[in-house]
Structure 1
């Protein structure tokens, strides 16, 4: 009887073990192995050669890495802040009493978020094609000169940012809309009785009440924005360079590790990206913990 009790005691752990086994194989092991690779030089086939801090010293002096960071930050800034602002406005407008079919609108806005990134990027690539894309056709119809969207350092960043805006606008709109519905109606009713306009209500009630949610979406959008890869890789599949504007940090990491077979230096780039994300996360934590509570 005691043996059966001992077996029963371990049965729950048996049922939850698949998650931990998969996490160890596909989660923890890659992190630990990347940490080891960062201090070695390895082409994926031969023996590892320990180089100490050599990969990180190389990273500090790598001009292409800094250009990839610059590209990533520009794409993040252009694609994140306008998207979050538009999402906040849309959420406020959908929540207005005279707007009908709210559930249908939420489903429509959320659809891009569950669409394949590759499919969306291919579609945007057709729209912003250098030769006969819809965007250039429209420009020529208006009597303007066509733009080399994909090969232009400036415009390719804008196109990638537009892809991110289109894909994640609805997701953040739903988050803001959920937060707005939790704001007590008494605030809005009192403001309406005082003769406040919708703009005043939006500025003085909705935004202050949503500050924690806004900071959360900024942090999550920042973490995602700093890891842009598929959009750039599909939009500019060959010949992408840091100077070209489409070479993001993750794209540069991918080319270094999997195209040039320099896995040690690629791991160092990955850890540099982790540090950059941690800096932005700590900044958001500081704003959330001290600035809001200080008010």
Structure 2
């Protein structure tokens, strides 16, 4: 018995199949290109976010994750009004003060450095590259180096202030001294990065504005205040937002600054931030639910700050 051979496809069927493949390729290829991002984001961004939200509504031990007990908003009530509330409000206050101590000088010096580098100086390329060296340094290396600088025994900071007749300072023990030291680390790491952002924005300012100001007799200082700064408003707002977010999430510097003495956040929690409090609740106290509540509180705080900055940006655009 002979088997019938398959009928070869007709040119019309081949053309129809090719047109379908072309449509599938044109529609599916863009999704295939962006799919890796969404897969990675879902695995390492969205899932942890939702999971910590679920944990914040449960009482969960680090060593018994499968034995979660529903408490609703109990973890949040404990943070705001319960026994741990003093640690939370202390960490929130430290986060705000550390953010102010590091963000304001950081951005002010960044604008000044960018203004200097905007002129035709010698070795401008080297100077611009050198500005990124602190940013390229790891948090651990920078913090441990500055911990030695601010060491109460033989530290360079105490040696320097001794030249002006001041006594020895235990930088880690005091609230303001420790926060000043940590703010110095943050300022050192991020000033150059922000300076390059400001420099790029300054180079986009039309030169005709400076020529017109010079013809009107404006000095370089007046040109800076009346031409450069108004042109940098969107960039300044952007750096303020980024610096505020970074200050709210500050963890590495306060965590490692007291590492040599064994006190993450300070012996009296004098420089414990929200990030350090979250770590302490989760890994030292084995309370993952309360640590997740701290994380979601930080997330809500960042959303609030972003909304405030968006309103300020809208008002600035209307005033221009």
Task: For residue 42 of structure 1, give the secondary structure of its aligned residue in structure 2.
Answer: strand
Q: Which residue of 1 aligns with 2:39?
A: 21
**Equivalent residues of 1:229, 1:248 under 8 A apart:** yes
In 2, Cα distance between the equivalents of 1:155 and 1:274? 28
Q: Structure 2: which 5+ runs fail to align?
A: 1-13
In 1, Cα distance between the equivalents of 2:169 and 2:311? 42
Q: Which residue of 2 aligns with 1:253?
A: 278
Structure with higher Rg: it is 2
Q: Which residue of 2 aligns with 1:65?
A: 88
**Equivalent residues of 1:152, 1:244 under 8 A apart:** no
Structure 1 residues 285 and 12: alpha-carbon distance in aligned structure 2, compared to 1, 3 A threshold: closer
Q: Which residue of 1 aligns with 2:70?
A: 50
- Determine whether 1:87 maps to 2:110: yes
Deviations, residues 12-39 of structure 1 (Å, cap 9, x unaligned): 6455433322221111110010110010
**Equivalent residues of 1:75, 1:161 under 8 A apart:** yes
Alpha-carbon distance, 1:72 to partner = 0.7
Q: Which residue of 1 aligns with 2:249?
A: 227
In 1, Cα distance between the equivalents of 2:93 and 2:154? 30
**Equivalent residues of 1:67, 1:242 under 8 A apart:** no
Q: Which residue of 1 aligns with 2:142?
A: 120
In 2, Cα distance between the equivalents of 1:199 and 1:217? 22
Question: For the aligned residues, what is the CA RMSD?
Answer: 1.9
More helix by share: 1
Structure 1 residues 291 and 13: alpha-carbon distance in aligned structure 2, compared to 1, 3 A threshold: closer
Write out aligned runs for 1:1-295 (5 A): 2=17, 5=21, 8=25, 10=28, 13-14=31-32, 16-46=34-64, 47-61=67-81, 62-97=85-120, 99-237=121-259, 238-239=262-263, 240-241=265-266, 243-295=268-320
**Equivalent residues of 2:173, 2:266 under 8 A apart:** no
Alpha-carbon distance, 1:176 to partner = 0.5
**Equivalent residues of 1:257, 1:266 under 8 A apart:** yes
